[in-house]
Structure 1
Amino acid sequence: MAEILSLSKARKAKARAAKEQAAAENRTKFGRTKAERQHVEAVRNLSEKRLDDLKREE
Protein backbone atom coordinates (compact mmCIF):
# COMPACT_ATOMS: atom_id res chain seq x y z
CA MET A 1 0.00 0.00 0.00
CA ALA A 2 1.28 3.50 -0.83
CA GLU A 3 2.16 6.13 1.74
CA ILE A 4 -0.22 9.00 2.27
CA LEU A 5 1.41 12.29 1.21
CA SER A 6 0.46 15.84 1.83
CA LEU A 7 0.42 17.31 -1.66
CA SER A 8 1.06 20.84 -0.48
CA LYS A 9 4.16 19.74 1.45
CA ALA A 10 5.40 17.76 -1.54
CA ARG A 11 4.84 20.72 -3.86
CA LYS A 12 6.67 23.09 -1.50
CA ALA A 13 9.57 20.64 -1.11
CA LYS A 14 9.85 20.34 -4.89
CA ALA A 15 9.86 24.14 -5.26
CA ARG A 16 12.50 24.46 -2.53
CA ALA A 17 14.70 21.91 -4.28
CA ALA A 18 14.33 23.74 -7.59
CA LYS A 19 15.29 27.05 -5.98
CA GLU A 20 18.34 25.46 -4.38
CA GLN A 21 19.38 24.00 -7.74
CA ALA A 22 19.06 27.42 -9.42
CA ALA A 23 21.04 29.03 -6.60
CA ALA A 24 23.83 26.48 -7.00
CA GLU A 25 23.99 27.14 -10.73
CA ASN A 26 24.16 30.91 -10.12
CA ARG A 27 26.93 30.49 -7.56
CA THR A 28 29.08 28.64 -10.08
CA LYS A 29 28.18 30.99 -12.91
CA PHE A 30 28.55 34.35 -11.19
CA GLY A 31 30.41 33.72 -7.95
CA ARG A 32 34.05 34.60 -7.46
CA THR A 33 36.28 33.68 -4.59
CA LYS A 34 37.57 36.29 -2.19
CA ALA A 35 41.08 35.84 -3.57
CA GLU A 36 39.86 36.52 -7.11
CA ARG A 37 38.06 39.69 -6.02
CA GLN A 38 41.16 40.91 -4.15
CA HIS A 39 43.38 40.18 -7.15
CA VAL A 40 41.13 42.15 -9.50
CA GLU A 41 41.02 45.04 -7.04
CA ALA A 42 44.83 45.06 -6.69
CA VAL A 43 45.34 45.04 -10.45
CA ARG A 44 42.84 47.87 -10.87
CA ASN A 45 44.52 49.95 -8.15
CA LEU A 46 47.94 49.34 -9.68
CA SER A 47 46.80 50.41 -13.15
CA GLU A 48 45.16 53.55 -11.72
CA LYS A 49 48.38 54.40 -9.86
CA ARG A 50 50.46 53.95 -13.01
CA LEU A 51 48.10 56.18 -14.95
CA ASP A 52 48.22 58.86 -12.27
CA ASP A 53 52.03 58.68 -12.19
CA LEU A 54 52.23 59.27 -15.93
CA LYS A 55 49.99 62.33 -15.92
CA ARG A 56 51.67 65.66 -16.45
CA GLU A 57 51.02 68.43 -14.01
CA GLU A 58 50.40 71.77 -15.63
Structure 2
Amino acid sequence: MSPNFLNYRDGDRLEVLLTAGEPLENVPKSAEEQGFSVQGIRETQPGIFRVVIEK
Protein backbone atom coordinates (compact mmCIF):
# COMPACT_ATOMS: atom_id res chain seq x y z
CA MET A 1 0.00 0.00 0.00
CA SER A 2 1.16 3.49 -0.74
CA PRO A 3 2.29 5.32 2.41
CA ASN A 4 0.21 8.30 1.24
CA PHE A 5 -2.94 6.17 1.29
CA LEU A 6 -2.51 5.77 5.04
CA ASN A 7 -3.28 9.51 5.31
CA TYR A 8 -6.60 9.20 3.46
CA ARG A 9 -9.86 9.67 5.35
CA ASP A 10 -12.50 6.99 5.84
CA GLY A 11 -14.45 6.61 2.62
CA ASP A 12 -11.63 7.85 0.38
CA ARG A 13 -10.86 5.64 -2.61
CA LEU A 14 -7.71 4.72 -4.45
CA GLU A 15 -7.77 3.31 -7.98
CA VAL A 16 -4.76 1.36 -9.17
CA LEU A 17 -3.94 -0.47 -12.39
CA LEU A 18 -2.27 -3.81 -11.87
CA THR A 19 -0.93 -6.49 -14.15
CA ALA A 20 -2.12 -10.05 -13.82
CA GLY A 21 -0.13 -12.39 -11.62
CA GLU A 22 1.70 -11.43 -8.45
CA PRO A 23 0.60 -7.75 -8.28
CA LEU A 24 -3.07 -8.64 -8.75
CA GLU A 25 -2.81 -11.41 -6.16
CA ASN A 26 -0.86 -9.46 -3.54
CA VAL A 27 -2.13 -5.87 -3.56
CA PRO A 28 -5.82 -6.60 -2.82
CA LYS A 29 -4.85 -9.20 -0.21
CA SER A 30 -2.44 -6.78 1.47
CA ALA A 31 -5.05 -4.01 1.45
CA GLU A 32 -7.63 -6.22 3.15
CA GLU A 33 -5.08 -7.41 5.72
CA GLN A 34 -4.47 -3.75 6.61
CA GLY A 35 -8.19 -3.11 7.12
CA PHE A 36 -9.04 -1.57 3.76
CA SER A 37 -11.93 -2.69 1.56
CA VAL A 38 -11.50 -3.81 -2.04
CA GLN A 39 -14.52 -2.34 -3.83
CA GLY A 40 -13.92 -3.89 -7.21
CA ILE A 41 -11.55 -5.55 -9.63
CA ARG A 42 -12.20 -5.24 -13.35
CA GLU A 43 -10.08 -6.16 -16.34
CA THR A 44 -9.72 -2.99 -18.44
CA GLN A 45 -7.63 -4.58 -21.18
CA PRO A 46 -6.01 -7.97 -21.57
CA GLY A 47 -3.83 -8.58 -18.52
CA ILE A 48 -4.47 -5.13 -16.95
CA PHE A 49 -6.87 -4.79 -14.02
CA ARG A 50 -8.41 -1.75 -12.34
CA VAL A 51 -8.63 -2.23 -8.57
CA VAL A 52 -10.63 0.15 -6.37
CA ILE A 53 -9.61 0.21 -2.70
CA GLU A 54 -11.51 2.16 -0.03
CA LYS A 55 -10.25 3.26 3.34
Please say whether Structure 1 and Structure 2 have the same fold, judged by a TM-score greater than 0.5. no
What is the TM-score when the length of structure 2 is the normalising length?
A: 0.28
What is the TM-score when the length of structure 1 is the normalising length?
A: 0.26
Higher relative contact order (CA 8 A, sep 6+): 2
Choose between structure 1 and 2: higher helix proportion: 1
